[in-house]
Amino acid sequence: MAFAGFFDLFSSRPQHPVGADGRMALSDHFRELRARLMRSVLLLIVVFSVALFFYDQLADLIRVPYDDAVQRLNGSVQSEIVVSDVTGPLMLQLKLCGIVAIIICSPYWLYQIWAFILPGLHPQEKKWTRIFVGFAGPLFFAGVALAYYVMPKALEVLIGFTPADATNLVDFEKFFSFLTRMFLVFGIAFEIPLFVIMLNLAGVVSGKALGKYRPWIIIGVFVFAAVATPSTDPFSMLVLAIPMLVLFLIAEVIARLIDRRRGRGSASTDNWGDDEVSPL
């Protein structure tokens, strides 16, 4: 019986009672959240264990942006990548396999986030689950791939600040932590428009409100991209900002279409925008 309860964690059937209006008791919400967290963690452990067998290949893949950046500098700056601590190699291996597991499992844990709020949606809105599952993973992968593509240019700019008579020693573990932050920033940034659509489905924000505050959203995207990207060159900022803006515009169009189908283009969410925030 204990094993049956353990494997129930991976069941796609609802684990806790949901009323006809999509409501759950608070205790059931916490149990549902615990179950979904355990499923995600167990899958991460499995993928992490598999990634350990491919550590050498993964380490070589992670070094590629650094090697490309050094090659672009054409010997103008001396730079070398090192491991500076006794425990460094072990921590690097654990971190690298861990982030690979997070990226590979992103479609699953993103689905678990969606499935957790799913009972609160109306039955006709639950059909968007397949669309969310179909786009959440690829968008996260696209953000990570874009970060990997931009990284050589960003590293070239950063390493280029090294004085000509000095050698830049790059700690491999810190270098990987830097890459990890960029992967997560780009991946999560690509998910934001999808979560905007989720908020629209939940009735929190409307397509009309998104259009009303579009200029401020554009400014916010460029500020976010400028802060999130590591280098001082405008290229890296634009590479993150432009795809985010395109995805936001697509999200606004989809939100307007959803509002039109619902027949609530001037619903209370628009009034909320007028009452809570006054345009400058």
Give percent of the chain above pLDDT 90: 5
Q: What is the pLDDT of residue 167?
A: 83
112 within domain boundaries: yes
Q: How many domains does the chain have?
A: 1
Domain that holds residue 79: 26-266
237 within domain boundaries: yes
Q: What is the pLDDT of residue 23?
A: 57
The secondary structure of residue 86, as a DSSP letter, is S
Contact 235, 153 (CB under 8 A): yes
Name 81's bridge partners. Answer: 170
Buried b (16+ CB within 10 A) or exposed e, 179-198: bbebbbbbbbbbbbbbbbbb
Name 143's bridge partners. Answer: none
Q: What is the pLDDT of residue 28?
A: 66
109 within domain boundaries: yes
208 within domain boundaries: yes
241 within domain boundaries: yes
90 within domain boundaries: yes
Segment 215-234, tens digit of pLDDT: 888 888 888 887 777 666 67
121 within domain boundaries: yes
Return the beta strands (E) in 125-277 as ranges: 167-171
Alpha-carbon distance of 44 to 93, in angstroms, equals: 15
127 within domain boundaries: yes
Query: Please, which pLDDT band fits residue 268 given cuts at 50, 70 and 90?
Result: very low
- pLDDT mean over 94-111: 87
Highest mean pLDDT among 18-27, 113-122, 234-243, 252-261: 252-261
